[in-house]
Amino acid sequence: MPTPNFDKPIENLLTQLSTREKIGQLFQEKAECEDREDLRARIRAGEIGSLILASTPFAGNETQITLSVEDLNELQRIAIEESPHGIPLIYGRDIIHGCRTVMPVPLGQACSWDESLVRECSAAAAKEASARGVHWTFSPMIDISRDPRWGRVVEGYGEDPFLVGRLGAAAVEGYQGDQLHSMKQNGHLIACAKHFIGYGASEGGRDYNTTEITEHTLRNVYMPPFRKALEHGCLTTMSSFNELNGEPPSGSHRLLTELLKEELGFAGMIVSDWAAVTELIAHGIAANNSEAARIAINAGLDMEMVSRAFLESLEDLLETEAVSLERLDDAVRRVLRIKFCFGLFDDPYTAIRPEALEITPKARSLARRAAAETSILLKNEGSTLPLSPTAGKTLLTGPLLNVQKPLLGTWAMDGRGADACAYLTAFTDAWGPEKILTHETALMDQGLSIAHHHALNGVDQIVVFVGEDSSRGGEHYSVSDLSLPPGQVEYVEQLAAVGLPLIVVVTAGRPLLIERILRCANAVLYSFHGGIEAGRGVLDALTGSTEPRGRLPITFPRATGQIPIYYGRKNTGRPWSNAYVEQLPSPLLPFGFGLSYTSFECTELTLANERISNTSDSIRASVHVRNTGERSGHALIQIYGHDPVSSLSRPIRFLCAYQWVELSPGENKDVIVPIPVNRLGFYDRNGSFVVEPGEFILYAGLDSNAKLHARLRVD
């Protein structure tokens, strides 16, 4: 995406600003201030450059009442008409997986392995949010997440750098569109790639915790998604809360300037996370706000979110030359460039359009399709699914059967529980009450009694809805145990003992321990919190009116103690000895896994050339796949690489490419999958990207346990 050149107006404006006004451009204040007159006065004085439309740092799981469009326009009017130089404010808000129309959570969207779906969901969110006066979203989160205890695993796209990078880039494209200067007029938002960097590796899955990441792993696992997002034009990034190898990123010159701005060539603006500047004191690298401000701005941070270290200290730091005027001006230029790029100087206000604040049929339709397609079919013994209303009566039960707000998931600040379609509502509307039997969902003993009674009298199958509330995930909400909430697994096992076909729908914001459920249920469908159309979307998947195409973007463990367990691990010197005494070494479900209502078989992997140069553009792989079932369906062909001998140890497998293919019953197809040669490369100990000569093995199949393989020689 080409960036318009605003150098001349920026430099012209910069020469007119006082030092205090420059510092003001680097401050993002809470819009929900207790003293509104003080807020207006500081905007009037040019001391605020941005407002975050949130009132607490835990906005993902707390009620957040944003300002009306009229209020935002009035504050903008003060900035334009009453501040010394009329610089518009930029409004930021956490638009994570939808606005009023809440889509599936990002981890759910990642189950699609479909950039177009992620792009559509992000564009729909941007359109709604922009109509509410939002300019800037703090999304996508492209942290690599390999510990599902971490609450924010729900906010990202999983464990694989390649997949996370592609889906994160698609989200950037959806938010920002393809015309920078007309972003605002076209209903788009400025995207923010977060959190730079390593936040997802927090020790023990505890939010905000310490991270230790080697240089090799940093470059080859955690940086690639950021490279991809920046290549696709992401205009802003956010520094992370954690400390990494002794350096909190918000105060690290190496991370923010040397890596992000210089090596990755990031010309945009870096914003801190909430109060991360003053938290440098808690990290123990600053004694007070003045030191925190000095460290952060010299590190390369451009805007401080909420805390006031810059406001309080930068003038004195400039006087003592602890901070240079050049660094201050560079930060201000970056902030102003974002405002010019977005078009705020030309069009600072938001049109008041009440109809734009409502959910449209088009948006609801997209949410329903997304909820259906991202559902993951984990088991389907004896073709228990798809369900049919003609099969007799169905008992619907379980604690999540008739809930609404929990289906929205975390970070649904603008969503309304009343907008969400409950599972019970979806079944009742589609089948009619005469086809279903249910009970007071809080009384699981009542449900079990009904199941036993009606097993002999008219009920043909049971669908039970279990899972976790959205409040168990998101920022600040981690868990020590991945088990389902107490009593749910036992309830499912007792229902299974009734002897009727049992279908279990699990709704959650992370991988949970479901081995016992997989053992006793006839069919299991997993749905990461699906948004306002979760009810109808999951029903579509259960009945087969929409194919459940979900494939796991993250490995499912058998036990919490197996964590970390991810497919891209490395061999040890003794790869035959990697098990626990009392536990199988394998995960419960592998990365990339997911069933369909038909079955597929990959029978042959061939390469157009078994010997190539490392300067070649791509490898041309052909996978022969056949639909061996009785329904049409989509197979996700996945190709993984392995580098048996290299200068640094590499993962056992790494994802090289993936491609969806649709096949009719009995249809055979040779699927051509191009693989860029650079997918075989890595960053070496000098930080240089290399594709080392030697032999590689490519694996092809339907998940990360793919068995088909072919050898490739790179010269």
* Residue listed under structure tokens 């959806």: 174
Question: Where would I find the beta strands (DSSP E) of 501-578?
Answer: 502-508, 523-528
Q: Are the beta carbons of 466 and 512 closer than 8 angstroms? A: no
Active site residue: 273, 419, 469, 540, which one? 273
Nearest-CA neighbor of 121 among 356, 361, 358, 363?
363
Distances (CA, A) of 388 to 328, 511, 543, 580: 65, 28, 6, 43
Structure tokens belonging to residue 463: 């669908």
* R_g (Cα) of the chain, nearest Å: 26
Q: Are the beta carbons of 459 and 394 closer than 8 angstroms? A: yes
Helix (H, G, I), strand (E, B) or coil at 303: strand
Q: Is the peptide bond before 386 cis (omega within 30 degrees of 0)?
A: yes
The dihedrals phi and psi of 502, each to the nearest 5 degrees, come to: -120, 120
Structure tokens belonging to residue 658: 């993936």
Helix (H, G, I), strand (E, B) or coil at 205: helix
CA distance 171 to 162: 14
Query: Which residues neighbour 317 within 8 Å (Cβ) at sequence distance 6 or greater?
Result: 290, 293, 294, 297, 323
Q: How would you write 391-403 as a 3-class SS string?
A: HCEEEEECCCCCC
User: What does the DSSP 8-state code read for residue 660?
Assistant: E
Helices 7-16 and 325-342, interaxial angle, to 10°?
A: 130
Q: Are the beta carbons of 507 and 469 closer than 8 angstroms? A: no
Structure tokens belonging to residue 493: 């096992």
3-state helix, strand, coil in the chain (%, to 5): 35, 20, 45
Nearest-CA neighbor of 17 among 304, 341, 331, 305?
331
Nearest-CA neighbor of 409 among 519, 528, 312?
528
* Residue listed under structure tokens 């369909």: 596
User: What does the DSSP 8-state code read for residue 580?
Assistant: B
CA distance 184 to 111: 30
CA distance 701 to 23: 55
User: What dihedral angle (degrees, nearest 10) is formed by the CA atoms of 53, 57, 60, 61?
Assistant: -120
Helix (H) or strand (E) holding 697: strand 694-701
Instruction: Specify whether 273 is catalytic.
Output: yes
Own/partner pairs for 30-37, CB < 8 Å, 24+ apart? 30/54, 30/55, 30/306, 31/66, 31/67, 31/72, 31/75, 31/91, 32/65, 32/67
Nearest-CA neighbor of 159 among 111, 191, 196, 114?
111
CA distance 344 to 135: 9
Query: Which residues neighbour 577 within 8 Å (Cβ) at sequence distance 6 or greater?
Result: none
Burial 295-310, CB ≥16 within 10 A → b, else e: bbbbbbbbbbbbbbbb
Structure tokens belonging to residue 6: 């605003």
Catalytic residue list:
273
